[in-house]
């Protein structure tokens, strides 16, 4: 009941309640504490921004993509939305579910074939009041061969995609300045051929604020069907460090597949310490990771 009351508050009332705490309303996620236990899948940048910074409301009011401003922000389902005007921000704050992109801001056609693919924010439709984006022109063409059928398939697939790949609101992922994970190595190759393989920047996918490169389109398709399975554990940070409640970088060449999970380590010493009791240390890391994400994530 507490969360329901919070969600029912108007933006102005919320601002009044949060002001004494030193929290701006636009910084408070509309899902509040419920995100800790609610699974969500949202396509966002390494900085947590949805729609690559484009204004969600403008798709409806202007029928075109409009870049939002970092000075006009709201949080919803663990993602930051940016707006081109204060009016658009107010409209979103009053009814975020009305303006949020469908399928977590991932490609609509990909969702219809049970995958999570990135989008081009300039390729979109508003269908029966729902914002649907696509990966590229090919996806657009395939989607529009039968829009009602593909929309129905995407709606049917989406709950399963969220159940398999969803997280809480905050994420913590080890990426470079361009948002690329694993130093550009193919996450699927660790499983299929047991070694790090450089990916191709032209064959990419996004998940949890990170961009992944793949050595083949087949590996990308495999990843997009189950990204949570193939993405490195602990956000691609050191598994041993997570087991002692720390966050450390990794050497992408020092890894293991344990319990069908990709775990990387910082150094040979970290690898050795982790493997003194790998299952116990994996359990410790699992217990510590939510707190590390809450403390250090976005």
Residue numbers of the chain with a pLDDT score lower than 50: 1-27, 33-36
- Give all strands (DSSP E) within the chain, no chain letters: 69-76, 79-83, 120-127, 130-134, 200-207, 210-214, 251-258, 261-265
pLDDT at 206: 95
Tens-digit pLDDT profile for residues 59-100: 999 999 999 999 999 999 989 999 999 999 999 999 999 999
Cα distances from 220 to residues 142, 169, 211, 224, 230, in angstroms, run 19, 25, 11, 6, 10
Tens-digit pLDDT profile for residues 131-142: 999 999 999 999
Residues 6+ apart with CB under 8 A from 156: none
Residues 6+ apart with CB under 8 A from 135: 107, 109, 110, 117, 118, 119, 120, 123
pLDDT at 167: 81
Q: Which helix (H) or strand (E) holds 7?
A: helix 2-8
pLDDT at 282: 98
Break the chain into its structural domains and give their ranges: 2-165, 182-296
pLDDT at 29: 57
Cβ–Cβ under 8 Å, residues 38 and 162: no
What number of CA atoms fall less than 13 Å from residue 11's CA on the CB side?
19
pLDDT at 171: 85
**CA geometry: angle at 96 spanning 212 and 86, to 5°?**
100
């Amino acid at each position: 009941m507490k969360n329901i009351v919070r969600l029912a508050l108007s933006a102005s009332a919320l601002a009044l309640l949060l002001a004494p705490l030193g929290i701006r309303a636009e910084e408070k996620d509309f899902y509040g504490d419920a995100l800790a236990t609610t699974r969500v899948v949202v396509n966002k940048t390494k900085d947590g921004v949805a729609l690559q910074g484009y204004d969600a409301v403008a798709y409806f009011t202007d029928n075109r993509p409009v870049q939002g401003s970092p000075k006009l922000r709201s949080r919803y389902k663990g993602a930051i939305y940016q707006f081109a005007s204060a009016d658009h921000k107010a409209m979103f704050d009053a009814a975020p579910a009305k303006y949020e992109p469908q399928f977590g801001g991932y490609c609509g056609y990909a969702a219809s074939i049970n995958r999570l693919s990135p989008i081009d924010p300039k390729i979109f439709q508003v269908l029966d009041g729902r914002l649907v984006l696509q990966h590229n022109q090919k996806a657009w063409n395939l989607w529009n061969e039968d829009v009602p059928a593909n929309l129905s398939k995407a709606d049917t697939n989406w709950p399963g995609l969220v159940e398999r790949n969803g997280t809480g609101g905050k994420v913590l992922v080890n990426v470079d300045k361009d948002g690329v994970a694993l130093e550009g190595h193919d996450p699927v190759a660790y499983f299929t051929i047991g070694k790090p393989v450089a990916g191709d920047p032209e064959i990419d996918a996004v998940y949890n604020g990170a961009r992944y490169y793949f050595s083949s389109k087949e590996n990308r398709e495999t990843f997009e069907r189950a990204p949570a399975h193939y993405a490195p554990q602990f956000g691609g940070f050191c598994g041993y460090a997570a087991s002692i409640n720390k966050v450390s970088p990794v050497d992408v060449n020092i890894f293991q597949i344990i319990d069908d999970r990709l775990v990387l380590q910082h150094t040979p010493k970290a690898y050795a310490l982790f493997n003194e009791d790998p299952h116990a240390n994996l359990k410790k890391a699992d217990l510590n990771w939510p707190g590390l994400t809450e403390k250090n994530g976005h």
